Chain A
Amino acid sequence: SQQGEEDPQALSIQEGENATMNCSYKTSINNLQWYRQNSGRGLVHLILIRSNEREKHSGRLRVTLDTSKKSSSLLITASRAADTASYFCATDLTSGSRLTFGEGTQLTVNP
């Protein structure tokens, strides 16, 4: 099964609203990353948060990490129609050298 699981699977909001996506994982991580994918395209790296960090910001993005609960959240503030995409969390495990992706959250921002 996937290491990371996103919640919700789909989210539909209005422009200007905030969008929150959650990710849970199972084993110890070195870092956790969030990626965005527009339909049928490659993934774009958004933000990386290391296991010793609790919160990170990048523009309108805010990521939190709770290693005790093995969970992370991605908040997009003041969403825009252009934010419509699939968002994936990916865990970089302490053992092993590959990223493992969750199933993604499909975000739709309605103008």
Chain B
Amino acid sequence: KAGVTQTPRYLIKTRGQQVTLSCSPISGHRSVSWYQQTPGQGLQFLFEYFSETQRNKGNFPGRFSGRQFSNSRSEMNVSTLELGDSALYLCASSLPRGASNYGYTFGSGTRLTVV
């Protein structure tokens, strides 16, 4: 069973540019969540999607956006990049909360460096 796939693994961008990160969830998982991880702030929730609808959004500026496609794949976009956006971006997929094997399965992340 394939895991959660995030692409690309590493990315270097210049301030002011925009970036799109991709996440393919485990087959059958319809919920996808995104997190930003930095040494100073830890794991911060960005957004959650379920069946192409954003269910929840964290406390991030509007430069951060996302979407989910009908095949449950998800993308997140960051526009007008700032140095502080440098982080490990993690995507996780899950079954519904009531499932017996409920839990988040994370991808390996995309390491974004803004210079």
Contact = CB atoms under 8 A, between A and B. Distances in A.
A50 to B, nearest CB: 9
B interface: dominant SS? strand
A interface: dominant SS? strand
Residues of A in contact with B, size category:
20 to 34
B7 interface: no
A43 B45 contact: no
Contact of B106 (A2, A30, A43, A100): A43
A106 B66 CA distance: 31
A59 interface: no
Interface in B26-65: 33, 35, 42-43, 45, 48, 50, 55-56, 58
Contacts of B88: 40
Residues of B in contact with A, size category:
20 to 34
Contacts of B56: 96-98
A43 B88 CA distance: 12
B42 A42 contact: no
B48 to A, nearest CB: 5
A41 B109 contact: yes
24 contacts: A2-B42, A30-B97, A31-B97, A31-B102, A33-B103, A35-B106, A40-B109, A40-B111, A41-B109, A42-B4, A42-B106, A43-B90, A43-B104, A43-B106, A45-B106, A48-B102, A88-B43, A92-B97, A97-B56, A98-B45, A99-B33, A99-B45, A101-B42, A102-B42
Interface of A: 2, 30-31, 33, 35, 40-45, 48, 88, 90, 92, 96-104
Interface of B: 4, 6, 33, 35, 42-43, 45, 48, 50, 55-56, 58, 88, 90, 92, 97, 102-109, 111
